[in-house]
Chains A and B, each alone.
Chain A
Amino acid sequence: MASAYDSHPEREYAAIRSSAALIDVSPLHKYRIQGRDALKLLDRMITRDMTKLKKAQVYYTPWCDGHGKVVDDGTVTHLPDGTFRLTSADSSLRWLHMNAVGLEVGIEDISDRMGALAIQGPLSRAILTGASPADLSKLKYFRMVETKVRDIPVTISRTGYTGDLGYEIWVDGSRAVALWDALIEAGTPYGIVPAGVWALDIARIEAGLIMLDVDYFSAHHALIEARKSSPYEINLGWAVSKEKGPFNGDRALAAERKRGAAWGFIGLEIDWESFERLFAGRGLPPQIPSVAWRSSAPVYKDGKHVGYATSGCWSPILKKPLALAHLRAPHFSEGTRVEMEVTVEHHRERAAAVVHKLPFYDPERKKA
């Protein structure tokens, strides 16, 4: 995936929040799952209740190992023909097959055959409406429709990784380039801009959306237990069904619910004045990279280490430095004052920060 298409990614980010950005999300792993037990397989795997996923509906969901630790997160789409499409950040073929033991199900890795383009931003609907016969004003958040863009057969889901109004368009790989061109052409009068992962990273942090291998590690890859997280520990507790039948990690998750999660995944708003003071102490105005950072920064409360931030950025729309962080109970309640380590001119310093509920940025148009 491109880092950026422009030497100045700020413009790509601005398009996500002001007009529309076109993002190639084809690198996602994609699987088509069908057969008598397709629903059963997915229900066994993910934490949400598959029996409630209607046709033409999409779930965002994590999935866990047997100990209730998250393996990956992604989307499950219930396609109109009754089959399912799973997307994941990591390659998941082995895990799908392991979960399919004893089930009558076809699992097909369609990652290389299917392209996916995300069109995100306040004008994305206007652009798609001009290029597709589908009535997108009726397409609700996390619903999908089979339609065409120009003459290209696609499915459009109202999903995305930006926390803004936006759509993801799924297309046969052979027509993916044509789809890109069609959307650029239809979008140019509306100021569409191709955007890479640098711009996307800022938008997803503002939207409080986690990233695998950045904000958390897959239970399958973590070298030590401490690197694993349960859904409750990465702010995905809402996606764990309490009613559904047996699924991977259900008993561990029920136990965790009872005793309370040991960690919380929250937002940190770094106090600008404290940040500015640290730089002023070195004779500098505050220096902020124009791309998001993805490294671990210790977080302290009253001098005690209580957690760590995993990614962060300057939010151009909120005009604040933000971070996503894991904090130990009970320090993750909203409004808790903590300190985050920042490096200022080769010195490790601590800037004041306040715990903020995620998302940081949640415009009405996202779901409206």
Chain B
Amino acid sequence: MNPRYDAIIVGGGHNGLVAAAYLARAGRKTLVLERRPLIGGAAVTEEVFPGFKFSVFSYVVSLLRPGIIRDLDLPKHGLQILPLESTVTPLDNGDYLAGWADPDETRRELCRHSTRDADASIVFGRLMHHMAMAVKPILRMVPPDPASLAPSDLRGLLKLGGHFRSLGPERFHALHKLMTMSSADYLDEWFEFDALKATRSASGIIGTFLGPRSPGSAYVLLHHYMGEIDGAFRAWGFQKGGTGAISETIANAARAHGAEIRTGAAVERVIVKGGQATGVALEGGEEIQAKLVVSGLDPRLTFTRLVEPKQLPEDLVDGIRRYKFRGSSGKVNLALSGLPNFTCMPGQGPHLRGAISISPSIEYLERAYDDAKYGEFSRHPYMDIVIPSMIDPDMAPPGKHVMSIFVQYAPYQLNGGWNDAKREAFGDTVVKTLARYAPNIESLILHRQVLTPDDIQRITGLSEGNIFQGELALQQLFFLRPVPQWAKYKTPIHGYWQCGAGTHPGGGIMGASGRLAALEILGANP
């Protein structure tokens, strides 16, 4: 006879692990089931090439919530976030634009290009600070349903209304613009130097099928500043050992509270009896009973694969069908015999310890998007490059390096579909693009791992390879994530819950979805 659990978490991604840790901490007998041989979902570290460790998919820690760090005592379980604080954008004229950790250095650098922008940057930073302060409380809030008259929803809406009213008209208007404009237009209002606008707007397009000129892309600019107001928590950075070590850290916390974690255990379906989830069936036939089943998988898998869509209301299933994934990014991981030599900043230097952004102009980014719009990967893609071994030398053998290249755009729906030849062509494009700025790169490559959205889907299960379990676009955020009325982690099936990044607030190694889901579950099942 199988043991009976209070809760089974389907999927050992970081949100599933966070949910498991919170449930176990509240005394619930919790089991996490992960299909792959290692936990972490898209936050995994793998030795893809002997001696070289890669954060294969997700590669930086962005907004891991300070509350989670404290509640689960993650520092005790292995959390160690190293600073990753500069961004260098090589320019086509052989110059560069750098943003350093030190604000004065950054200002001096900006003045080289535009004193006006250097001035504007400070005022812009202040506005973004206020915007981020305005939005931040939402990250730890279960989204109230504006169409509902339930007392809890009304209370939530009232709180939210009060919160926004307290911003004052100026900031409220700014927030509205930020929510609706394109990042290019928004930044045009502030800055004149093209590479600066391009590099900043890049954060607005990551993981979405939007270009810098697409309306709605401005909002994600805020994420960077939200990291900043977490201040000393410095939740923005590089976890020692790669993102897999974050997953291990959360798993250690969950285990310390008594949770069990099984890998190589693929859940085939959730067992539903009389509208109530009673457990899961694994591939291979094993059935495990539990009072609750929590899916950390994305909304498509949660509602159309783990359960029969016919067990769900039609409008929910329709909503899930309309929910946009559209993976738009790929990843190239390189094992290097030495360090790249950038023409704009020859030799070794601090720039190799931060991000290198291939975003020389807004037009460059928009053209990269144009290719994707018509079903091709970008001939000249946007790339966000880090060399993790420069920050954590344990990632590669001494003197050797690993390079992580996030690449956009690589559409999931590629003309003619992805295959081995297309994957390699995509990899070649990435290396060739980088070689324009760091000509020695090709001679350094010991091993190359290319991951297309198709590969991301195949390996991690993320539908259409979308790294956020669905686009972080305004029509899919907050009380609309993943669909209206089912944005509060609950599902129409009793005892079946959702906790992945496909729920509010979603995306990035933030853990907030997992935490809020667990708290909702505990509230509903005291």
Contact = CB atoms under 8 A, between A and B. Distances in A.
Contacts of B100: 7-8
A345 to B, nearest CB: 15
A249 B82 CA distance: 46
B49 interface: no
A289 to B, nearest CB: 9
Interface in B41-70: 66, 69-70
Contacts of B81: 316
Interface in B72-116: 74-75, 79-83, 85, 100-102, 104-105
A18 interface: yes
B231 interface: yes
Nearest to A20: B393
Given A7-B100, A7-B105, A8-B83, A190 B398 contact: yes
A8 B85 contact: yes
Contacts of A17: 80
Interface string A100-129: 000000000000000000000001001000
Nearest to A272: B70
Contacts of A10: 83, 85, 101, 234
Interface stretch (A233-241, A280-288, A302-310, A331-339): A280-288
A337 B510 CA distance: 31
Given A189-B398, A286-B231, A11 B83 contact: yes
Contact of A190 (B80, B391, B393): B393
B75 A317 contact: yes
Contact of A7 (B102, B133, B231): B102
Nearest to B102: A7
A285 B70 contact: no
A11 B353 contact: yes
Interface string B203-243: 00000000000000000000000000111111000001000
A314 interface: yes
A188 to B, nearest CB: 8
A129 to B, nearest CB: 11
B259 interface: no
B398 A18 contact: no
A8 B102 contact: yes
Interface string B174-186: 0000000000000
Contact of A317 (B80, B102, B350, B394): B80
Nearest to A11: B83
B390 interface: yes
A321 B240 CA distance: 21
A319 B83 contact: no
Contacts of B233: 319
Interface string A185-214: 000111100000000000000000000000
A19 interface: yes
Given A272-B70, A317-B75, A319-B79, A288 B232 contact: yes
A223 interface: no
B231 A288 contact: yes
Nearest to A127: B398
Interface in B258-317: none
13 contacts: A7-B104, A10-B85, A11-B85, A17-B80, A18-B392, A123-B393, A191-B389, A191-B392, A191-B393, A286-B231, A288-B232, A319-B69, A319-B74
3 tightest CB-CB pairs across the interface, nearest first?
A: A191-B393, A189-B399, A189-B398
